[in-house]
Chains A and B, each alone.
Chain A
Amino acid sequence: MKTDNPALEFDGVEYAYPNGPVSLKTVRFSLPSGSKIALVGPNGAGKTTLLLMCNGILRPDRGEVRVHGRPLSYDRAALREIRKRVGFVFQNSENQIFAPTVYQDVAFGPVNLDLPPGEVREAVHRALFSVGLSGFEKRPPHHLSGGEKKRVAIAGVLAMDPDILVFDEPTSSLDPATAAEIMDLLDELNSQGKTVIISTHDVQLAYSWADQVVLISEGTILHQGTPASVFTDPDLMNRARLTIPPVLELFMTLRERNISIGDAPPAGIPEMAHQLEQAIGCVSRRTAGHIYVVDAESVSGDDIRLCAAERSITHIGAMGTAAKILAGTAQISLDFTYGVIDKCLLKSVMGEDTLIITSGGMIERVHERIRAFSREHGVEIPVSDLTGQTSPVS
């Protein structure tokens, strides 16, 4: 999905709030199109200020912001166009949802883009489907849970079909499972080709989710790079008032104690567990379990249930809205609804067979992740289509 064309560029951007201290000081960076970017920094670092410039809500005092190579201009017509392309989801969904029903709120953007009524309806239904809230149209927002409100807020932006999505602290004030599901949703949107930018101070989240991390502190960019390069630098972490993600910290501590657990920082728990297993010398002679993958859009729920029963599948996970809806209607009981690939990898290493139901661009995602894990650790994990042939990856 990643390309070299920058989706968003900040070029020497400076900003101070009226009568306030300087908030951003010569900020310069560029974000590749189609990538997942985490803007990480402590409270008051200027994250929100910076994000509000992505769609022209705030105008820099100096410097310029470019979207797909075109500098932002701040007249009415240009702003309309830019806000259609750059969707912004606020930290507090309560502030973003202002209509009396879910339908009306999601329709707000399309209606103001002057779409004809039929297309408005279609856009709303599509957006609600993709966040998994079909059937919630007539609900008033004060009857929704925090996670549902977040989804409505995301649907309201998706209905305008933007190609860059900006989320200010998407997981703040959500419970861990809901937060993980929201992050999976962002993954799904990214797999549809959208550039996703989030701001957060959750280091673990940024480390495990992002392709690129932009580290910001006191209005200046400290570093931009891969998550591993940012989070393994204790000096940078200190300056940005952040902590090292637990997995990485464990990895670094073990290395300091001269326990050889490889050079590459682990991408997640499956890698860490594997590296540890090798370090303490009890390499398992278990044969890895199968990971079956099935496309929710091409196979019926009954077939999946039948196939799963035929094989010795112990755990089933669903990724993405289409898969979860399918599992719901076919009454397939799900063991994993978030962090699915990692959990299935862990089970597979233990020799258990698992099934991942997913769809669209997420299928390739699954293969990629398993391939990367197999390559790095020399474990052969057989991945196969539930209904088709086995294709071992190594």
Chain B
Amino acid sequence: MDEHLLDDLALNNGLREVDSRLKLLLGLGAILICVFSPSPVTPLIIAASMALIIVGMARIPPQEYATLLLIPVAFALTSCIVILFLSGGGEPVYTISVLGFTLTATTASANLSILLLARTFGAMSAMFFIALSTPMIQIFSVMKDLRLPQEFIDLSMLIYRFIFIFIGEAIAIHNAQVMRNGYAGFRKSIDAIAMLCGSLFIRAWGRGEEMLIAMDARCYDGKFETDTEELPVSLRSLAAIGSYLAVCSILSLLFSGVVLFP
């Protein structure tokens, strides 16, 4: 079941039974602190603590977490290299020449790219904390608590359910194509992918019609049950999250002057 890895991990994680609002509070709070932090230190502290929480408390295998984290960090790294050489200010630190162009990294550009990298790293860690500890079905009940329009929530629930059906259909079609040499060569791949999209669309349409019948057969009257069985918010967890966020904010103020090249 590799095709829905993130959701599978979230459904079996060690923090599943914790109130989802608390988890969202922790994740979103940490993201905000990372984004507004003037120094790269606090985001790195957040990234480290999130890694500890995700591996230690949510019991996500470290290997899985590292693989997941590698994707956004690799993107961030490449953009930071670009920023390092293309933005200016301060003293030159390092100069290279590529194909006759001279690229210079300055103290200011180094500070900026380190800060960006740290912020991305920290915020992504917090983001993954939410994704790995809170299954989608718990987020729906938070949406309800936030008084989002019922139609919006109903639609997102149907979409969520159908994502997995379509992944299954797409894999089935893809397998059927591969078995008959569908993706051998560029032209054939283009043809095959077009066919896959076409038949997926038609199947989606058919599924929609069948779902309407299924809903009608059970007296659909515009109502959809949302899972509201919430556990009482534990004051201890709330206090722990509050103090974590407070400490991070204070640290980000304390370290506000700390940069690579002062």
Q: Which residues in A have some Cβ–Cβ distance to B below 8 Å?
A: 52, 55, 57, 80, 83-84, 88, 90, 92, 94-101, 103-104, 107-109, 111-114, 120, 138, 140-143, 156-157, 160
B261 at the interface (CB under 8 A from A): no
Known: A108-B225, A120-B225, A138-B227. A99 touches B217 (CB 8 A): no
Q: Which residues in B have some Cβ–Cβ distance to A below 8 Å?
A: 4, 7-8, 11, 135-137, 140, 157-158, 160-162, 164-165, 168, 207, 210-211, 213-227
Shortest beta-carbon distance, A104 to chain B, in Å? 5
Q: Is the CB of B225 within 8 A of A107?
A: yes
Bound Cα distance A142, B135 (Å): 13
Q: Is the CB of A111 within 8 A of B224?
A: yes
Q: Is the CB of B224 within 8 A of A100?
A: no
- Which secondary structure dominates chain B's binding surface? helix
Q: Is the CB of B219 within 8 A of A84?
A: yes
Q: Is the CB of A83 within 8 A of B227?
A: no
Bound Cα distance A142, B157 (Å): 14
Known: A80-B219, A100-B140. A95 touches B210 (CB 8 A): yes
Q: Is the CB of B11 within 8 A of A109?
A: no
Shortest beta-carbon distance, B224 to chain A, in Å? 7
Q: Which residue of A lies closest to B159 (CB)?
A: A100
Q: Is the CB of B210 within 8 A of A104?
A: no
Q: Which residue of A lies closest to B164 (CB)?
A: A142
Residues of A within 8 A of B226 (CB): 104
Residues of B within 8 A of A141 (CB): 161, 164
Residues of A within 8 A of B211 (CB): 95, 98
Residues of B within 8 A of A157 (CB): 218
Q: Is the CB of A100 within 8 A of B219?
A: no
The answer, among A100, A101, A103, A112, for a CB contact under 8 Å with B218, is: A112
Q: Is the CB of B164 within 8 A of A57?
A: no
Q: Is the CB of A100 within 8 A of B157?
A: yes
Q: Is the CB of B227 within 8 A of A112?
A: no
Contacts beyond the supplied A112-B218, A141-B164, A160-B218: 15 A-B pairs with Cβ under 8 Å:
A83-B219, A95-B210, A95-B211, A100-B136, A101-B227, A104-B227, A108-B220, A108-B225, A112-B219, A112-B221, A114-B221, A140-B7, A140-B137, A142-B4, A160-B219
Interface centre among A88, A112, A142 (most CB of B within 10 A): A142
Residues of A within 8 A of B137 (CB): 100-101, 138, 140
Bound Cα distance A55, B7 (Å): 37
Q: Is the CB of A143 within 8 A of B160?
A: no
10 contacts between A and B (CB under 8 A): A84-B219, A88-B217, A92-B210, A100-B137, A101-B137, A104-B157, A104-B226, A112-B223, A140-B11, A141-B164
Residues of B within 8 A of A109 (CB): 218-219
Residues of B within 8 A of A90 (CB): 210, 214, 217
Bound Cα distance A104, B226 (Å): 6
Bound Cα distance A80, B216 (Å): 9
Q: Is the CB of B214 within 8 A of A100?
A: no
Q: Is the CB of B216 within 8 A of A83?
A: yes
Shortest beta-carbon distance, A376 to chain B, in Å? 41
Residues of B within 8 A of A83 (CB): 216-219
Q: Is the CB of A99 within 8 A of B219?
A: no
Bound Cα distance A140, B215 (Å): 18
Q: Which residue of A lies closest to B157 (CB)?
A: A100
Residues of A within 8 A of B219 (CB): 80, 83-84, 109, 112-113, 160
Residues of A within 8 A of B164 (CB): 140-142
Q: Is the CB of A55 within 8 A of B161?
A: no
Q: Is the CB of A103 within 8 A of B161?
A: no
Shortest beta-carbon distance, B58 to chain A, in Å? 17
Q: Is the CB of A111 within 8 A of B225?
A: yes
Residues of A within 8 A of B135 (CB): 140
Bound Cα distance A99, B135 (Å): 14
Q: Which residue of A lies closest to B162 (CB)?
A: A98
Known: A57-B213, A83-B216, A83-B217. A99 touches B223 (CB 8 A): no
Q: Is the CB of B161 within 8 A of A99?
A: yes
Q: Which residue of A lies closest to B220 (CB)?
A: A112
Bound Cα distance A90, B136 (Å): 27
Shortest beta-carbon distance, A171 to chain B, in Å? 19
Bound Cα distance A80, B162 (Å): 26
Q: Is the CB of B225 within 8 A of A103?
A: yes
Known: A57-B213, A83-B216, A98-B215. A108 touches B160 (CB 8 A): no
Q: Is the CB of B218 within 8 A of A98?
A: no
Q: Which residue of A lies closest to B165 (CB)?
A: A94
Bound Cα distance A143, B4 (Å): 11
Bound Cα distance A138, B17 (Å): 11
Residues of A within 8 A of B157 (CB): 99-100, 104
Q: Is the CB of A98 within 8 A of B158?
A: yes
Shortest beta-carbon distance, A101 to chain B, in Å? 5
Shortest beta-carbon distance, B112 to chain A, in Å? 42
Residues of B within 8 A of A142 (CB): 4, 164-165, 168
Residues of A within 8 A of B214 (CB): 90, 95-96, 98
Interface centre among B207, B222, B223 (most CB of A within 10 A): B223
Residues of B within 8 A of A108 (CB): 215, 218, 220, 224-225
Residues of B within 8 A of A88 (CB): 217
Shortest beta-carbon distance, B145 to chain A, in Å? 16
The answer, among B8, B161, B207, B210, for a CB contact under 8 Å with A100, is: B161
Q: Which residue of A lies closest to B156 (CB)?
A: A100
Q: Which residue of A lies closest to B218 (CB)?
A: A109
Residues of B within 8 A of A55 (CB): 217
